[in-house]
Chains A and B, each alone.
Chain A
């Protein structure tokens, strides 16, 4: 995947949080690439480190409470080597971020227009009139029906969907090359979700941006993503194109996730439930397959001692060798009776 068009190259990035004086990895040794014009989806259940990855790229962690190692190469600059002022040159200008909860992501005391034009204050030389014009354009672009009116409103006067559109408008105001969308549709109802995703796609087409879409909603991924990275317990366990991951999932965790999703062909059956929970940061095993405790029927020998990514098809990588023999318990039963 090391091609010229990768403008974002995340190499071996780990982020550790300080808990009771000790550092624990929330994400460990992440390798990812993003190209222009592509949507990379990062999926995984709550607590797997998706959002930590996003805030690490954005440099939003308090350096006193976190330890970050590795390299984030963004168009030739290693973001992790920048100080706060240096980072501010990128935040908002070249990297835009869309947050999960639109209800709290906007300052309740500022008019929408001020919140949008604030980005331009720091990254452009535009005059007041130009900024006003651009704000209205942006609001129109994200599908707000009456930009003039909305620009003068306060966040509490807008619905959740409209606020998320405003948050998107802020993120794209300076035409960033990278947009990080951290569960942009989680707080919204289904009809609005689809509209928001359409807006994201339209923006991407126009700006040729790369989008990192973080979600736990596999439906959203199937609909929008070009490539998918599946995360479990702070690691990427499988990545590939959307077709590869959805049509021929290999890692037990990916397969479990897809199996636990309601689908037309398993109508009437009980949904599959992955037993157990993601281990907490303090209890994260340092070696071995982190998903092993949740598939206890798989013999120890099937796992690698220190699982690494294996490329099984061009662009399709899977962690650990256990995928080769992995079967669900009912499949095993089936194979015995046949």
Chain B
């Protein structure tokens, strides 16, 4: 198993290098130059040219890329045009919020999806299954932002159960109050995110359970005289959870991407909201940094998926 994981880690190195090259070239291809907005617009073009020269902006792209990578390793991602502060500090303050939200959404998603999927698959064709399937189809058809806006309107505005913006209340004084307030703010966006996220998993799990139910190895187990409830426990559940477990790592990346919607609608100060704002302000350094981070997180997500799969499925292990 360690061999599999090690091999998988090694594969990630070229992936990250390729990603960084792409991100760098994309940033280079964007219009404008680094001095726009930060120096006097009436400055002499010759002076700008000189500044470009001494900052290495006329060097060939690979040299510029190399400089960029060196800076990257020193934790220097440049300054934000919009906020006039280092990008690293900007992201530092928001990454925690986003990860919290994603983590919570994921827990709630699986807490809903696993029982629903297993139940629907086990009682295939019966009334509860029909209701669960109806729920998944309906949710699947509604765009995520509609669900979010509706959710805010019903639970935040009409019923007034939850706060609708921010990540923490300004009244919170003590440590306990802060944690409580954060949790309170995170609950509605993660519940709504989970409502949406369950759909795929429920459908997937349901069909896995149904497949397993009719599989030959379950027939073998029945011919051994294993009672039905034990067949579910020992044979069907584990086998049908396998692809779901493998999917978990990858779903982290989906959650991070989904956070762009959630954070925007909830004005939740995370990386997603920062990303959307930076795009509308053409804040290139921030965009570049965030694309790189999201890209790496995606790679980590797939890495996690592969590692989980190698743990739960003996067939993919390299002995």
Chain A residues with CB under 8 Å of chain B are 58, 60, 84-85, 87-93, 96-97, 99, 101, 104-109, 118-119, 122-123, 154, 156, 167, 170-171
Contacts and interface: CB of A to CB of B under 8 A. Distances in A.
Contact of A91 (B222, B238, B313): B222
B226 A105 contact: no
B242 A99 contact: no
Contact of A118 (B215, B216, B226, B312): B226
A84 B225 contact: no
A60 B222 contact: yes
Given A60-B222, A154-B314, 11 more contacts: A84-B227, A89-B225, A92-B224, A92-B226, A93-B225, A96-B223, A107-B235, A109-B238, A118-B221, A118-B226, A171-B223
B239 interface: yes
A101 B216 contact: yes
Interface residues of B, number: 22
List 10 A-B pairs, minimum CB-CB distance, nearest first: A92-B225, A91-B225, A104-B216, A92-B224, A88-B225, A107-B217, A97-B223, A154-B314, A119-B224, A105-B216
6 contacts: A92-B224, A92-B225, A105-B217, A108-B239, A108-B315, A122-B227
Contacts of B234: 118
Contacts of A90: 225
Interface in B212-269: 215-217, 219-228, 234-235, 238-239, 242
Contact of A92 (B219, B223, B315): B223
Contacts of A167: 220
A167 to B, nearest CB: 7
Interface of B: 215-217, 219-228, 234-235, 238-239, 242, 312-315
A106 to B, nearest CB: 6
Given A84-B228, A154-B315, A156-B315, A107 B223 contact: no
Given A107-B235, A154-B314, A122 B220 contact: no
B239 A91 contact: no
A318 B228 CA distance: 41
Residue among B215, B216, B220, B234 with most chain A CB within 10 A:
B220
B226 A88 contact: yes
A122 B314 contact: no
Contacts of B315: 108, 154, 156
Given A99-B216, A156-B315, A91 B228 contact: no
Contacts of A97: 223
A88 B227 contact: yes
A93 B226 CA distance: 11
Contact of A106 (B220, B313, B314): B220
Contacts of B228: 84
Contact of A85 (B215, B217, B227): B227
Given A92-B224, A93-B225, A118-B221, A109 B216 contact: no
A166 to B, nearest CB: 10
Given A106-B217, A154-B315, A91 B224 contact: yes
B225 A122 contact: yes
Nearest to B312: A109
Contact of B226 (A99, A108, A122, A156): A122
A96 B225 CA distance: 9
Residue among A89, A119, A171 with most chain B CB within 10 A:
A119
Contacts of A92: 223-226
A96 B223 CA distance: 7
Nearest to A120: B224
A112 to B, nearest CB: 11
Contacts of A89: 225
A267 to B, nearest CB: 39
Contact of A109 (B219, B221, B239): B239
A160 to B, nearest CB: 14
A92 B234 CA distance: 17
Contacts of A99: 216, 219-220, 223
A221 to B, nearest CB: 23
B242 A109 contact: yes
A60 B225 contact: no
Contacts of A58: 222-223
A122 B238 CA distance: 20
A106 B235 CA distance: 10
A91 B225 CA distance: 5
Contacts of B227: 84-85, 88, 122
A123 B235 CA distance: 18
Contacts of B217: 104-108
Nearest to B214: A62
Given A99-B216, A154-B314, A154-B315, A107 B221 contact: yes
Nearest to A58: B223
A58 B220 CA distance: 11
B219 A60 contact: yes
Contacts of A87: 225
Nearest to B239: A109
